[in-house]
Amino acid sequence: MSNLKDFTKEKRVKYIFQRMKAIYGGQWLNQWRGVNERTMEIEWIEQLGDYLNDEWVMDYAIHHLSPDWPPNAIAFRKLCLDAGHMRSNKKKQALEEPLSERNATNKDIALAQMETIKKLLANWSKNGKKSL
């Protein structure tokens, strides 16, 4: 949903509908035949609520659609909810991960830099403490 941050919820829902048409083609169109499009938009806005303001959640939901059948508003909201839980769990895992594991790369870099400094100091001592 790139470049949609200034769009209204109505335009975001229309964007989702366009994506559904592109992804599902006739399945999407046949599923909603006889349903007033404005009524659908209103219901999707109601069901999705603030999820429509979260581009990451919307993109996640679109990229995790069922290959078999287009979702209704409730099924799409469930995908958005799943995205929110996934993002929360990743943040929680990052906070719960031991500091030593989070900084393993930094620790390895620091150790390598310390070895380089030791070698430079050893060479400096051997060479009569001239310039490094």
Q: Which residue, among 69, 64, 80, has the nearest Cα to 25 in the 3D structure?
A: 69
pLDDT score, position 100: 54
Handedness of CA 48, 49, 53, 56 (dihedral sign): negative
pLDDT, tens only, 72-112: 999 999 999 999 888 777 766 665 665 555 555 666 777 77
Flag the least confident range among 6-15, 53-62, 110-119: 110-119
pTM, two decimals, is 0.64
